[in-house]
Amino acid sequence: MFAPGEFAERVASLRPSEPEVRKSDRRRYRTIWISDVHLGTRGCNADLLIDFLDSVDSDTLYLVGDIIDGWRLKKSWYWPAKHNDIVWRLLKRAKRGTRVIYIPGNHDEVFRQFTGLSFGGVEIRSKAIHETADGRRLLVLHGDEFDAVVLYARWLAFLGDAAYEMLMRLNMLVNKVRARLGKPYWSLSKHAKHKVKNAVEFISRFEEAVAKAAGDRGLDGVVCGHIHTAEERMFGDVVYYNDGDWVEGCTALVEHFNGEMEILHWADEVNGRVLPMQQANAA
């Protein structure tokens, strides 16, 4: 029997293997959205996500699905300490007063049975309506409910595919080598994906379908995840936001205190950091 309350308590009582960086200068946002972390898989970019979580803070945090990959975990158990560290950080955040809303996706649908409940301060919802500081109402959902609506969902079938897993592994390998050579993180699959015409067409159809659903409900826009492609785009007068993923793109969607939205590309952020040594050399 799966008991998320017990799980939450156990993880919260642990000490993280990767100690939390105490940053008094954490960048604050009104809202943060992240999704498609895929904890429990080798593809999850835990290091970048830990860095992100230690660098930012917000009044509200939405976890927009596929945070834990139950599909993969069922096949083979893969749960390194760093994945605990992420869960620990998310729970800690809820304890410290951030409102954390978890909207399970298709890979963590095991949590959907707990919709309406909360565990360790994390509220579980099937979807949410977020009101921005400038008064726009946004539908927040994972997005897999639109797979059936989109006709040629080839790219999505590919997402659950062994070929995709291979690509992710190759991506990691390439980046291990690149790191050793002192080169910045580079997303192989992002490049591959944009070259595949069908994938681009699918993404476009998906985005349109999700935006239309929000418009039909009389809302100003939508925030979703699922297709691992961060985006901000208008469909008529409906705004579509996708917060991306932490497997390849390593992106988050944030709302500033004036209601302005922004997609953060965390790999670029980390790559662009000036190290103290470099600063000293430049001076």
Q: Which residues contact Mn ion by CB under 5 A?
A: 66, 105-106, 144, 226
Q: Which is nearer to Mn ion, 245 or 269 (CB)?
A: 245
SS3 128: strand
- Give the residue among 124, 120, 112 at the shortest CA–CA distance from 96: 120
- Give the residue among 33, 96, 92 at the shortest CA–CA distance from 67: 33
What's the min distance (Å) between Cβ of 59 and Mn ion?
26
Residues 6+ apart with CB under 8 A from 177: none
Q: Which is nearer to Mn ion, 144 or 248 (CB)?
A: 144
Around Cβ 247, how many Cβ atoms within 10 Å? 24
What's the min distance (Å) between Cβ of 44 and Mn ion?
14
What's the min distance (Å) between Cβ of 196 and Mn ion?
18
Q: Which is nearer to Mn ion, 56 or 211 (CB)?
A: 211
Distances from the Cα of 177 to the Cαs of 78, 83, 174, 186, in angstroms?
23, 23, 5, 11
Tokens 């969902």 locate to 153
Q: Which is nearer to Mn ion, 56 or 124 (CB)?
A: 124
What's the min distance (Å) between Cβ of 26 and Mn ion?
28
Q: Which is nearer to Mn ion, 58 or 106 (CB)?
A: 106
What's the min distance (Å) between Cβ of 228 and Mn ion?
8
CA distance 155 to 30: 33
